[in-house]
Amino acid sequence: MTNYLKYKSIMNKIADVQYSSAVLNWDQETYMPPKGAAFRAQQLATLAGIAHELSTTEELGHLLISLSQDNSLSEKEKRNIKESLKKYNDNKKYTTSFVEELSKSISEAFQAWQEAKKTSNFSLYAPYLEKLVKLKREECKLLGYVEHPYDAMLNQYEPDAKTADLEVLFADVRNQLVAFVKKIAAKPQNNDSFMYLHFDKDKQWEFGVGLLKQMGYDFEAGRQDISSHPFTTNFNSEDVRVTTRTNENNLNEMIWSCIHEGGHALYEQGLPVSEYGLPSGEYISLGIHESQSRLWENNVGRSLPYWNTNFSSLQKIFPENFKNVSTEDFYKAMNIVKPSLIRTSADELTYHFHILIRFEIEKALIQGSIEVKDLPDYWNEKYKEYLGVEVPNDAQGVLQDIHWSHGSFGYFPTYSLGSFYAAQFFAQALKEIPELESEIEKGNTKPLLDWLREKVHIHGKYYTAAELCLFITGEKLNFNYFMAYATKKYSRLYHL
């Protein structure tokens, strides 16, 4: 067996353990009975420890160093070794005991978050979150950073991203998007009251499954379930699962959860099966992952061509609710811009204010300039400042997101990055596929999916996010694409 085949064998074994953990995590968030929580935390901690030990053996280290000097490897193989060696060196900075403690703390925090959200009582969650934040601050020191400790967190989700760069990007949000939203706010608001009538959850489910199938989501390589917070998880590219949630008095939740998670799932299903366990079989970054979900959700799913083909099906399922509603009315309703409390149901413009708030809070938490006990008040103040809304309770405020209970500090900024990448990628797709919008209007999304497979999915981690953006569009990430898209669309919707 060659050294590269030995490397592949080890990486496959590590992936087997990590994806076994992922199955248990999926079960924890969907079907696991409440009494299973304590043992599940222990099981996940054990598997995390095993995966860490496999990822940091001397054998793997020597093998990666040797392969990094092997000029006979292909360019893709060299990239795999480079990425794996970088990850190996990061993994060596952790002890197995730290990894197990972090995994166990995350499981405990998740259970506490669920109960706290259900009862709208932050104090039930606070001690567990305090422990997680302490561990995350310690993790920053273990990983190392040059400018800001938050850089160490960002790098786990968006490799090479810097706090300073994101501050510049969010300055664009403040300087351009805030002013544009104010122009919209000065105009008469469109009507969306018909979105909040009674919608039978089983009929919603049926419609959502139809949307996923239309996008190209392969139900032979996945499934959809219900969870309190919609998510996508994968165990290989032939087993990619999505969850959604239904609210019988708010049709928006199911529609956008299905399309958003479907976009994530299409990316995972498009990764090369032959590269299982290797960087070339993994997504590039969460910003690029979010570009796929946001492109489908916003650039496609919130477009008029998309509903010119799909609204009639929705009318047949809910004839009474939509008997006096036109496609244009529905299009306006799904694109209403107004400040709101909940990030996941925010419109695509004010959404970035929600992310900006979380970015500022996470930076302060990791840096230590605020503590967990300060979070509810700090959160409420930020929502008043940026969105002009009063937060009525913890469930609709600081407890609304699952991410911190997962220890996912540094994740939130990737949502905005994803939207900005999506606008730039979709603009390029329109150039390269002139008939794209007319095909979407016919219900045919295959040309777009084929284009994304070729441009994004198939490459795995061959490119960095910045390199991929340059490869696809010929330039680096440019916020102006998002503003051009938003200006054109919402100027029409609000007669600006």
State the pLDDT confidence band at 178, using cuts at 50, 70 and 90.
Answer: confident
In this predicted model, what pLDDT tens digit does every residue of 287-340 receive, in sequence order?
999 999 999 999 999 999 999 999 999 999 999 999 999 999 999 999 999 999
Q: Judging by beta carbons within 10 Å of its beta carbon (0-12, 13-18, 19+), is residue 6 exposed, middle or buried?
A: middle
Asked if residues 87 and 60 have their Cβ atoms less than 8 Å apart, the reply is no
Asked if residues 309 and 440 have their Cβ atoms less than 8 Å apart, the reply is yes
Q: What is the mean pLDDT of residues 443-462?
A: 98
What lies within 8 Å, CB to CB, of 163 at 6+ separation is 147, 148, 150, 151, 154, 363
What lies within 8 Å, CB to CB, of 210 at 6+ separation is 313
What's the whole-number average pLDDT of the chain? 96
In this predicted model, what pLDDT tens digit does every residue of 397-426 receive, in sequence order?
999 999 999 999 999 999 999 999 999 999
Q: What percent of the chain stands above pLDDT 70?
A: 100
Distance CA 57, CA 111 (A): 33
In this predicted model, what pLDDT tens digit does every residue of 344-403 receive, in sequence order?
889 999 999 999 999 999 999 999 999 999 999 999 999 999 999 999 999 999 999 999
Distance CA 27, CA 18 (A): 14
In this predicted model, what pLDDT tens digit does every residue of 106-147 receive, in sequence order?
999 999 999 999 999 999 999 999 999 999 999 999 999 999
263-to-92, 246, 295, 461 alpha-carbon distances in Å: 34, 18, 8, 18
483-to-57, 175, 181, 233, 427 alpha-carbon distances in Å: 48, 11, 11, 31, 12
Domains of the chain as residue ranges with CATH: 3-144 (no CATH), 163-493 (1.10.1370.30)
Kindly give the residue spans of alpha helices, DSSP state H, lying in 95-248. Answer: 96-119, 126-143, 150-157, 163-172, 178-185, 201-215
Res 344: pLDDT: 83
Kindly give the residue spans of alpha helices, DSSP state H, lying in 216-282. Answer: 251-270
Distance CA 338, CA 171 (A): 20
In this predicted model, what pLDDT tens digit does every residue of 225-264 receive, in sequence order?
998 889 999 999 999 999 999 999 999 999 999 999 999 9
Taking 80 as the threshold, does the pLDDT of residue 1 lie above it? no
The residues annotated as belonging to the active site are 261
Q: What is the mean pLDDT of residues 192-217?
A: 97
The pTM for the full model equals 0.91
Distance CA 421, CA 423 (A): 6
Q: How many residues appear in the chain?
A: 496
Can you say whether the dihedral through the CA atoms of 351, 354, 360, 362 is positive or negative? Answer: negative
Q: What percent of the chain stands above pLDDT 90?
A: 95
In this predicted model, what pLDDT tens digit does every residue of 6-60 receive, in sequence order?
999 999 999 999 999 999 999 998 999 999 988 998 999 899 999 999 999 999 9
Distance CA 28, CA 371 (A): 28
Taking 80 as the threshold, does the pLDDT of residue 182 lie above it? yes
Res 228: pLDDT: 80
Distance CA 450, CA 37 (A): 41
